[in-house]
């Protein structure tokens, strides 16, 4: 079942989401809005009653877990976001033209992921009302020591970076497709293309290249390979979190989650708008291989960290590693991810084993696996601290209904973002379409233009 697409993509194709309005769209919109609304109600209740409505508690004599699903999901969403922007940057920087049609989806995933993560910061706080006065008011002092402040800084920086990135590349598309875009949003388009002239294309190209370069360089230093794991790994007395391996580990999880997320979103758009010839099978095969590669790295890092604990580690690390290995949720998550890796490996050898449905399933499994691992990772720290004398430690924790609902709510939030954006701007770049047709709107070498790159 090798899908051969001979059809060339057109402007109408990428405008289709904007110019159609189907029943399915409304149903999906309703579900996403309902999920978000349900959580907002839950959050309102939490604001009224306090964080006691969660399953959290005080580690130590109290026998609880200080952080739980909220923080686990927070770092998971940040991972999705960071992975998304890395994916998109790699496409631009390394010339991975094959993935051009999904680059913008990856950028939008980043915006969505960062929005969800930012929302989690508020949800997680005991006094969200003080966010501005307490955090910004003392920023010049706290940025020197607090990894949490580094975190907020980096998330903000990446939000700005990704939004700029997305905004700049959209100018090209919107200015060219303006006539076919709905008049309803005219002011928005005007604002987006303010001062646009064709002369800027070249400049924007270079700017985007540098933005992409910044993303790629900063990824291991500041994104999921740095600041986010440092939130945990730098603390002195929580052996389940410590170790330099957490940087690479977090980065691999971020990329796994982002690739999976982008695959699911791509699948949905392809199915909804008949984009077989734009988001080709080839893209899914390629993404699946990359997913396999990062899953392999992730499992390797897990092995490193666990083995470092169980093979004659210091007592505290040993207890933490043994407890981690013995945890049923950990075992299930690792088995699922290992199984997926085996499938990806096999379909690499035997292409007939590939199908988009299976790729979709693999993505779902990886996302579930990484989310489980993240939440577990957060809780494990409190279960096996160095100062493990308390009878109440390891304590107990199970997310409350409201915490579970937050997952649905943030997923709904991200879905709504896609549903809204897809009615406003093309989610596939005009560049990608031009590229697939073998045209080049601007400043590409002529020799490229003469070679059709459409893969058959």
Partner 1 sequence: MSTDDESFHPLGQEWEGELENMLDDTEYDTDLGMQMAQDAMRVTKGELSEAEFHEMYHDDVMEEFGEDQRPTQEAFEAAQEEAKGTVSRMLSAFDGDGEESRRDVMKKMGVGAATVGMGAFGSTIDGKPSLAGEGEGHGGSHSQAEQNEDLQWGMTIDLERCDGCLSCMEACASENDLDQGVNWMYVMAFEDELTSGGSPAPDNIVGGTSDHNMLVRPCQHCTDAPCEKVCPTTARHTRDKDGLVLTDYDVCIGCRYCQVACPYGVNYFQWDEPDVAHEDINGHDGAEVDDPEEITHAEYENGTERWVDSRSPRGTMSKCTMCPSMQDGRQGEERVGTTACERACPPDAIQFGNVKDERSDASQHGEHPSKSRAIIEISGDVPDPETIDAQLSEGDDLEAVLGNEELDLNAEVVSIMKAVQIVSEEEGLEPGDEENNTILEGQVTIVESVTALEEYVDLESEAALTELQLGDGEASDANARLREFAGNPSSKFKLLEDIGTHPNITYIGQEPGPEAEQVEGPSEYSDISYERSDGSEVDLVDKRQEILDEGTVGDVGWSL
Q: Which of residues 154-213 bind partner 1 (CB under 8 A)?
A: none
Q: How far is the CB of 48 from partner 1 (least distance, A)?
A: 10
Residue showing tokens 């005219």: 186
Which of positions 303-332 make contact with partner 1 (CB under 8 A)?
315-316, 327, 329
Nearer to partner 1, 72 or 292 (CB): 72
Nearer to partner 1, 304 or 318 (CB): 318
Residue 32, judged by CB atoms within 10 A of its CB (0-12, 13-18, 19+), counts as: buried
Q: Which of 8, 28, 38, 149 binds partner 1 (CB under 8 A)?
A: 149
Q: Give the number of other Cβ atoms within 10 Å of residue 294's Cβ.
A: 22
6 token code pair: 């001979």
The verdict on 127 binding partner 1 (CB under 8 A) reads yes
Q: How far is the CB of 130 from partner 1 (least distance, A)?
A: 5
Q: Which of 33, 38, 146, 204 binds partner 1 (CB under 8 A)?
A: 146
Q: Which of 41, 237, 353, 449 binds partner 1 (CB under 8 A)?
A: 237
The verdict on 10 binding partner 1 (CB under 8 A) reads no
The residue range among 4-12, 142-150, 188-196, 215-223 that interacts with partner 1, by the rule CB under 8 A, is 142-150
Q: Which of 130, 271, 442, 448 binds partner 1 (CB under 8 A)?
A: 130
First-last CA distance in the chain = 14
Contact of 178 with 196, CB cutoff 8 Å:
no
Q: How far is the CB of 111 from partner 1 (least distance, A)?
A: 24
Q: Which of 37, 41, 141, 342 binds partner 1 (CB under 8 A)?
A: 141
Q: How far is the CB of 137 from partner 1 (least distance, A)?
A: 8
> Can you tell me the distance from the alpha carbon of 106 to that of 99, in angstroms, rounded to the nearest whole number?
10
SS3 for 322? helix
> Can you tell me the distance from the alpha carbon of 199 to that of 214, in angstroms, rounded to the nearest whole number?
24
Q: Which of 115, 295, 400, 406 binds partner 1 (CB under 8 A)?
A: 400
The residue range among 110-118, 133-141, 295-303, 434-442 that interacts with partner 1, by the rule CB under 8 A, is 133-141
Which of positions 359-398 make contact with partner 1 (CB under 8 A)?
375-376, 379, 381-382, 385-393, 395-398
How many chain residues touch partner 1 (CB under 8 A)? 72
Q: Report in angstroms the alpha-carbon separations of 372 from 56, 77, 290, 378.
A: 17, 13, 21, 10
380 token code pair: 């494990």
| Secondary structure (H, E, C), 279-298 | CCHHHHHHHHHHHHHHHHHH
Q: Report in angstroms the alpha-carbon separations of 19 from 31, 349, 422, 424, 426.
A: 22, 41, 10, 9, 10
Residue showing tokens 């770049």: 429
Nearer to partner 1, 193 or 386 (CB): 386
Which of positions 41-80 make contact with partner 1 (CB under 8 A)?
42, 45, 49-67
Which of positions 238-277 make contact with partner 1 (CB under 8 A)?
238
Q: How far is the CB of 213 from partner 1 (least distance, A)?
A: 30
Residue of 371, 348, 209 whose CA lies nearest to 290:
348
Q: Which of 128, 167, 244, 339 binds partner 1 (CB under 8 A)?
A: 128
Please give the helix or strand (H or E) that residue 318 lies within, else none. Answer: helix 315-326
Residue 95, judged by CB atoms within 10 A of its CB (0-12, 13-18, 19+), counts as: exposed
The verdict on 148 binding partner 1 (CB under 8 A) reads yes
Query: Is the Cα dihedral 57, 59, 61, 63 positive or negative?
Result: positive
> Can you tell me the distance from the alpha carbon of 317 to that of 408, in angstroms, rounded to the nearest whole number?
34
Residues with Cβ within 8 Å of residue 315, at least 6 apart in sequence? none
Q: How far is the CB of 391 from partner 1 (least distance, A)?
A: 4
The residue range among 16-24, 33-41, 132-140, 352-360 that interacts with partner 1, by the rule CB under 8 A, is 132-140
The verdict on 22 binding partner 1 (CB under 8 A) reads no
Nearer to partner 1, 22 or 396 (CB): 396
> Can you tell me the distance from the alpha carbon of 381 to that of 374, in angstroms, rounded to the nearest whole number?
11
The verdict on 118 binding partner 1 (CB under 8 A) reads no
Nearer to partner 1, 185 or 390 (CB): 390
């Amino acid at each position: 079942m090798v899908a051969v697409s001979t059809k060339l993509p057109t402007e109408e194709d990428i405008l289709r989401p904007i110019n159609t309005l189907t029943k399915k769209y409304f149903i999906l919109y309703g579900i996403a809005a309902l999920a978000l609304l349900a959580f907002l109600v839950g959050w309102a209740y939490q604001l009224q009653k306090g964080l006691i409505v969660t399953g959290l508690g005080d580690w130590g004599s109290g026998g609880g877990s200080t952080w739980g699903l909220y923080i686990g999901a927070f770092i998971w969403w940040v991972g999705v976001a960071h992975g998304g922007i890395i994916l998109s940057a790699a496409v631009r920087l390394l010339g991975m033209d094959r993935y051009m049609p999904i680059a913008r989806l990856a950028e939008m995933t980043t915006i969505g992921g960062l929005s969800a993560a930012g929302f989690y910061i508020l949800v997680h706080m005991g006094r969200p009302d003080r966010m501005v006065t307490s955090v910004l008011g003392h920023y010049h002092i706290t940025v020197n020591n607090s990894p949490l402040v580094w975190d907020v800084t980096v998330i903000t920086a990446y939000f700005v970076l990704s939004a700029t990135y997305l905004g700049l590349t959209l100018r090209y598309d919107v200015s060219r497709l303006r006539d076919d875009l709905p008049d309803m949003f005219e002011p928005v388009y005007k604002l987006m293309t303010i001062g646009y002239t064709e002369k800027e294309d070249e400049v924007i190209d270079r700017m985007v290249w540098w933005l992409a370069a910044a993303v790629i360089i900063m990824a291991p230093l500041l994104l999921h390979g740095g600041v986010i794991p440092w939130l945990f790994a730098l603390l002195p007395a929580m052996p389940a979190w410590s170790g330099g391996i957490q940087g690479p580990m977090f980065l691999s999880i971020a990329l796994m989650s982002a690739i999976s997320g982008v695959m699911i979103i791509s699948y949905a758009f392809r199915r909804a708008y008949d984009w077989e010839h734009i988001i080709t099978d080839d893209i899914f095969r390629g993404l699946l291989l990359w997913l396999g590669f990062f899953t392999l790295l992730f499992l390797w890092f897990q092995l490193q960290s666990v083995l470092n604990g169980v093979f004659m580690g210091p007592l505290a690390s040993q207890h933490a590693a043994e407890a981690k290995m013995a945890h049923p949720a950990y075992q299930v998550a690792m088995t699922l991810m290992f199984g997926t890796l085996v499938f990806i490996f096999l379909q690499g050898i035997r292409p007939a084993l590939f199908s988009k449905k299976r790729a979709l399933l693999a993505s779902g499994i990886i996302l579930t696996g990484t989310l489980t691992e993240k939440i577990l990772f957060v809780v494990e720290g409190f279960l096996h601290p160095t100062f493990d004398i308390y009878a109440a430690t390891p304590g107990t924790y199970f997310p409350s209904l409201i915490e579970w609902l937050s997952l649905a709510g943030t997923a709904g939030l991200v879905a709504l973002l896609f549903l809204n954006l897809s009615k406003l701007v093309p989610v596939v770049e005009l560049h990608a379409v031009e590229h697939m047709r073998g045209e080049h709107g601007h400043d590409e070498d002529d020799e490229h233009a003469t070679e059709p790159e459409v893969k058959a």
